[in-house]
């Protein structure tokens, strides 16, 4: 007996064919190409967010040597991308981790995996919107330090992203393409300029941890790897639009790994160039310089150019908000198509002309609002502390499910397969994801401060979400089923890709 979803249409394990899904026969439009899937994941991950989202804290806590952990984390995540690529090829359905886990281990397992993933991405969307607002404030010389100003800026960023997502699919693709162009120019162009003209630290600095004369310790290495893991999540978003991608069984796995490789390459280069341009690393380590990015840019480029660069950073963060909302709206829609959420009939509706999940998008525009109101509070800090650990938790759940199915002999490969390397890569990816989940979740005073609830934020939020999820799941389990794709699944002419 196998737990692979060889009977994906069984409702809650009862074995009865499911009724027609709540979409009422509405079909998604399969008009996204490999380029579209790659672009979504690229914007979702964002090289600017990858570089500047973790740089200041990692440099202060670990020192210049944190850069060495970045290729380690990228390599570990590439294993995950390859392993999940095989699952995505086998199940090219809407919803990424939710859809994959559910079809591997059944509706309940998939539901809780997806539930954790939805909240992980929603909270991440809030934190990225906050970052976008702060960069827009720096670029436009607007003071957003007041909580009311910060919240207003976040609402504006989210409203613009929602409009781009809701209007037309062509506009969505255009906005993502423009933002990617700006991000690449900002990341690579700035990196080349800093390396060529403002290289003030020796390359040997990357071998220094900067935390005293004791050298590298196990705790420092683990902290560095944990922080580096923050930079390389989001590539799985290519699978969120699986039923909208042409020849998804081949193109989604490609988009998973290509987007990660691109982000990793740009992120490694950009981080190195910025690291070597920091004017006074010692001031960062002592806490005298809490914002080494702004300091380095202002010293080397001047205030006017720094404002222009901050505008590019703001656009990159805003594009990340756009990508996060696109991806998570598709996951919510996939839940609703499977009758797995309250108000599934409403949430699963698609617009008539563009086949866009407008109601699911509306939810992603509303749910972050109360979290915006929590900014600056301990509750907000606990939620933010959960995000990266939640991402690796859901990676681990999907990979463990794939490993169990293989162990039971129920695995069937899709168009993309690693052949004899399939099982070793899966085991390595699962080991990495579980290790990084524990590593990121581990309570550290140096990272979270003395408050125990911040140190245990991943565990606390996971437990609370588990309880809330159990209550919600109890209301939908009787009618839930794992549906089939509503779009044409046939391969398309490669020239269209």
Name the stretches of the chain with pLDDT < 50.
Answer: 1-24, 213, 487-497
Q: What is the pLDDT of residue 460?
A: 93
Domain coordinates of the chain in residue numbers?
Answer: 32-482
339-346 long-range contacts (CB < 8 A, ≥24 apart) are: 339/21, 339/22, 339/476, 339/479, 339/480, 339/481, 340/107, 340/111, 340/114, 340/476, 340/480, 341/472, 341/476, 342/472, 342/475, 342/476, 344/22, 344/476, 345/22
Q: What is the pLDDT of residue 217?
A: 79
CA distance between the termini of the chain: 39
For residue 311, give every residue at least 6 positions away whose Cβ sits within 8 Å of its Cβ, in sequence order, or none.
Answer: 135, 136, 139, 140
> Helix or strand or coil: residue 482?
coil
d(CA 118, CA 386): 13
Burial environment of residue 490 by CB neighbours within 10 A (0 to 12, 13 to 18, 19 or more): exposed
Given CATH 3.30.2130.10, say whether it is the number of domain 32-482.
Answer: no
Q: What is the pLDDT of residue 148?
A: 92
Q: Render pLDDT for 292-327 as a digit per residue (tens, 0 to 9).
A: 888 898 999 888 888 998 898 898 889 889 889 998
Q: What is the pLDDT of residue 26?
A: 61
d(CA 276, CA 284): 13
Q: What is the pLDDT of residue 168?
A: 78
Give the closest residue to 470 by CA, choosing from 118, 108, 117. Answer: 108
B/e letters for 412-439, b = 16+ CB within 10 Å, e = fewer, are: eebebbbeeebbebbebbbebbbbbbbb
For residue 15, give every residue at least 6 positions away whose Cβ sits within 8 Å of its Cβ, in sequence order, or none.
Answer: 7
- Give the CA distances from residue 224 to residues 75, 283, 287, in Å, rounded to whole numbers and listed in that order: 15, 19, 18
Burial environment of residue 64 by CB neighbours within 10 A (0 to 12, 13 to 18, 19 or more): buried
């Amino acid at each position: 007996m196998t737990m692979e979803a060889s009977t994906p249409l069984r409702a809650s394990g009862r074995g009865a064919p499911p009724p027609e899904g709540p979409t009422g026969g509405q079909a998604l439009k399969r008009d996204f190409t490999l380029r579209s899937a790659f672009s979504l994941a690229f914007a979702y991950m964002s090289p600017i967010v990858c570089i500047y989202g973790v740089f200041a804290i990692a440099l202060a806590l670990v020192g210049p040597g944190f850069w060495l952990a970045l290729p380690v984390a990228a390599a570990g995540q590439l294993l995950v991308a390859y392993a999940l690529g095989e699952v995505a090829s086998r199940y090219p359905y809407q919803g990424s981790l939710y859809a994959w886990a559910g079809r591997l281990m059944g509706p309940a397992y998939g539901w809780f995996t997806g539930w954790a993933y939805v909240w992980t991405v929603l909270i991440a969307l809030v934190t990225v919107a906050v970052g976008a607002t702060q960069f827009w404030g720096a670029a436009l010389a607007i003071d957003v330090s007041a909580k009311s100003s910060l919240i207003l800026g976040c609402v504006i960023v989210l409203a613009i992203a929602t409009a781009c997502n809701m209007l037309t699919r062509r506009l969505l693709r255009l906005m993502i393409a423009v933002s990617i162009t700006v991000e690449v120019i900002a990341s690579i162009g700035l990196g080349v300029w800093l390396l060529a003209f403002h290289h003030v630290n020796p390359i040997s600095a990357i071998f220094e941890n900067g935390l005293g004369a004791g050298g590298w310790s196990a705790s420092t290495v683990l902290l560095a790897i944990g922080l580096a893991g923050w930079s390389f999540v989001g590539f799985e978003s290519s699978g969120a639009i699986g039923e909208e991608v042409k020849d998804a069984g081949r193109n989604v796995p490609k988009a998973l790994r290509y987007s990660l490789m691109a982000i990793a390459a740009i992120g490694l280069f950009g981080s190195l160039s910025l690291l070597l341009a920091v004017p006074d690393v010692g001031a960062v380590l002592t806490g005298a310089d809490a914002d080494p990015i702004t300091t380095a840019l202002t010293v080397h480029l001047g205030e006017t150019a720094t404002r222009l660069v901050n505008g590019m950073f703001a656009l990159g963060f805003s594009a990340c908000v756009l990508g996060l909302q696109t991806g998570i709206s598709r996951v919510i829609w996939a839940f609703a198509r499977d009758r797995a959420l309250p108000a599934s009939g409403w949430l699963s509706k698609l617009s008539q002309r563009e086949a866009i999940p407008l109601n699911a998008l509306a939810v992603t525009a509303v749910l972050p609002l109360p979290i915006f109101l929590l900014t600056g509070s301990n509750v907000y800090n606990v939620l933010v502390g959960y995000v990266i650990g939640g991402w690796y938790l859901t990676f681990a759940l999907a990979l463990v499910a794939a490993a169990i199915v293989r162990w039971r002999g129920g695995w069937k490969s899709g168009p993309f397969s690693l052949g004899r390397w399939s099982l070793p890569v899966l085991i390595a990816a699962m080991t990495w994801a579980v290790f990084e989940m524990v590593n990121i979740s581990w309570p550290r005073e140096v990272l979270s401060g003395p408050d125990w609830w911040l140190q245990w934020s991943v565990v606390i939020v996971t437990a609370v979400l588990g309880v809330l999820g159990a209550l919600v799941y109890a209301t939908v389990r009787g009618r839930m089923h794992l549906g089939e794709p509503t779009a044409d699944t046939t391969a398309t002419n490669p020239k269209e890709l």
